[in-house]
Amino acid sequence: MDLLQVLKKTNRVICFTIFIFSLQTNSATTNKPKPLGQLGQSTTSTRIYHKPNSKSKTLYNVKPYEYLIIKHSKEVKGYKGILLNNGTIGYIPNNHIAVLPYQVNQKQTSNSPSRQSSRNSLANYSLSYVGVPYKFGGECFQNGIDCSSFVQKLYGKIGINLPRTAAEQALVGEPINRLEHLKPGDRLYFWEKKRGIIGHTGMYLGNGYFVHSSLGKKGVSTDRIDDPKWRNLLVAARR
């Protein structure tokens, strides 16, 4: 996992403005970083408790769609163990968190993929920006970014210059015509009914997930491509 800052406050949850995540793949890798746990996402407002009991002390109030690090080895009946910033474990009810198919690894010294990196590496790297706020017309990871600028800047990190808008980007690259042919790092393009154009884009991560800067979720986040909301609007994919 590449380098990002950590939260300063004791007992705060380790969230995804902090870490870069590594997708689980079948390919063997050398010098594997030490895993911290598995990626999870809260499905509703909830709490992280000191003990696996809703009557115990509340350590953190969780908002909907917040990203968390799950420690499966600390699971107790009805509760999942959550890694906190100070290294301790808190507990969240099982039915308040979704388990995502990504492993969270310790930071490494590199903070961006090289030009020779595969799109698979780029997909992994893109998750470092989860939590960055959405801003229409925004081009800044610090202050806010829109969907097409997000994809444009990611591809720029491996030396590929894309046009600025989603509609223009959708004309560039190798077309992918079937969902089952998608690979991590492929670009996805969605129809915007209000304007009658291709108006949204994101990057495929693998295992049915993609990452995008989303107005609806107020920032960079992940979603499933088979969610009808997105599947019905998907009109193009490029590699």
Residues involved in catalysis: 147, 200, 212
Beta strands 219-224; 209-214: pairing state: antiparallel
The answer to whether 13 and 85 have CB atoms below 8 angstroms apart is yes
The set of residues, in sequence order, having a beta carbon less than 8 Å from that of 58 and lying 6+ positions away, is 47, 48, 49, 50
The answer to whether 80 and 3 have CB atoms below 8 angstroms apart is no
For the beta carbon of residue 77, count every other beta carbon within 10 angstroms: 6
Instruction: Give the integer Cα–Cα distance in Å for 138 and 134.
Output: 7
Which residue in this structure is represented by tokens 């925004």?
A: 138
Binning the chain into helix, strand and coil, the percentages to the nearest 5 are 15, 40, 45
55 alpha-carbon distance from chain centroid: 32
Across 175-213, b (16+ Cβ under 10 Å) vs e yields ebeeeeebebbbbbbbbeeeeeebbbbbbbbbeebbbbb
Instruction: Give the integer Cα–Cα distance in Å for 63 and 41.
Output: 10
Instruction: Give the integer Cα–Cα distance in Å for 191 and 166.
Output: 10
